[in-house]
Amino acid sequence: MFQTLREKLRCKEVWVHGAFKWRNPDLDLPADFEERRAEHYARLRKPLDAKRFTGELLEEMDAELSALHDALPSLPWLEIVEREKGGAILLSPLEALPEPRNLRELKAAVCSRWGVVPLLDMFTETALRTGCLDAPIQAGTRIGMEAGEFLERMLLVIYALGTGAGIRSVAAGEHPYSEEDLRYSRRWFLSVPGARQVAKTIANAAFAARQGWLWGEGTTAVASDSIHFSAFYQNIFTEYHSRYKRAKRGVLIYWTVETSGAMAIYSQHLTCSASEVHAMVEGAMRHETNMNVETNYVDSHGATLIGFGITRLLNFDLIARFKQINVMKLYLPGRGDRFAYPLLRPALTRPIRPELIENSAGSWPPTGVRSRSRPCSA
């Protein structure tokens, strides 16, 4: 009974009077949705007619399945056959390509010209060229120190936090600032929004400095994944997770990285047990850089049916890695000879039922979940 109640609360088929997270789902919708329905649908690029929506969806499914059916004979690494055990979709691993000779020569030329450049020197040059350290200072804020001193303090603080060395270790270096000076600058001038503004400024400057004739035009694709960082036990955000062998205790940082130049456009902290779907959507929506995200690559942890629906609504493609693709099935867009794909037959399953969408509570989008909601006394 408690398990059923938990699932109903999560999908808000049951809601609690006076609660916020478990409140009435009708309160989650815009108050003027019915009056401004046409405007909202236009901004979401969705038609008001439910049959038109399902018709466009079926046509798109038919086109994609037909393209896969026609290209299957020319894909040696993809095989769809009947098998007694496992699924019908079989992917052959691709052989690793040799390293391009030009890339090796480019690495040697860079190493011979610059050698090993300290990370702090690189960050100093970046700050001087882009002015990124002006971002954390709000208008009207009194700094109380010279501009050069403020720059040096912030460089040391960000270096200490970014490398994981810690402020105490960095304060022991050859500079005139004590540990208390650095902690003061950290406490008053560096916050999470300020750090994101610094990253945003650096990313936009990198996009603007790229030479299109040499490196090509900027991509619209990003890759998202989480990285585990070990942390001290005394840290209140430290969590234990059995998945990570090197350090059982630590924190998860979820990165949204541009694929062409490996430029991070957004980062956020996650709990070790949290789903990565919401973090993927947040990174693509709130990065605030000049990049226009149209494609997001994720692993199997960042893909769910709800995730695909939300990304489609937000008008960017979710490209996921399916760990169990061999047992997956492909739904048919309809019945009849029109939707016949002989080469894909072992991997096909039943047709979808668009009438469930069209007839859901007599309107679109479906409101059946809201109509079935029942209040629960606290």
- List the structure tokens of 360: 């859901």
Q: Do the Cβ atoms of 181 and 153 come closer than 8 Å?
A: yes
Q: Is residue 292 part of a domain?
A: yes
What is residue 144's predicted lDDT score, i.e. its pLDDT? Answer: 81
One domain for residues 322 and 355 = no
Among 150, 173, 206, identify where a domain stops: 206
Q: Is residue 106 part of a domain?
A: no
User: CB count, 10 Å around CB of 69?
Assistant: 16
- List the structure tokens of 174: 């050859």
One domain for residues 229 and 309 = yes
One domain for residues 242 and 184 = no
What is residue 168's predicted lDDT score, i.e. its pLDDT? Answer: 92
What is residue 184's predicted lDDT score, i.e. its pLDDT? Answer: 92
Q: How far is CA 131 from CA 137, 210, 267, in A?
A: 11, 18, 20
Where do we find the tokens 């109380």?
144
One domain for residues 341 and 323 = no
Distance of CA 281 to the CA centre of its chain: 5
- List the structure tokens of 315: 């008008």
Q: Which residues face 249 on adjacent strands?
A: 240
One domain for residues 270 and 362 = no
Q: Is residue 97 part of a domain?
A: no
Q: Is residue 92 part of a domain?
A: no
Q: Is residue 244 part of a domain?
A: yes
One domain for residues 222 and 298 = yes
Residue 301 maps to which CATH number? 3.30.420.10
Q: Which residues of the chain have pLDDT under 70?
A: 138-141, 215-218, 246-247, 361-378
- Count how many residues are written for the chain: 378
One domain for residues 275 and 323 = yes
One domain for residues 78 and 153 = no
46-84 pLDDT per residue, tens: 888 889 989 999 999 999 999 999 999 999 999 999 887
Q: Is 366 exposed, middle or buried (0-12, 13-18, 19+ CB in 10 A)?
A: middle
Among 293, 309, 327, identify where a domain stops: 327
- List the structure tokens of 295: 């494609």
Q: Is residue 95 part of a domain?
A: no
Pick from 234, 149, 134, 138: which is nearest to 185 by CA?
Answer: 149
One domain for residues 309 and 348 = no
For the question of whether the overall pTM of this predicted structure is more than 0.75, the answer is yes
One domain for residues 201 and 222 = no
Q: Is residue 98 part of a domain?
A: no
Among 206, 231, 262, identify where a domain stops: 206
One domain for residues 222 and 315 = yes
Q: How many domains does the chain have?
A: 3
What is residue 361's predicted lDDT score, i.e. its pLDDT? Answer: 41
Which residue range is the domain that position 153 belongs to?
118-206
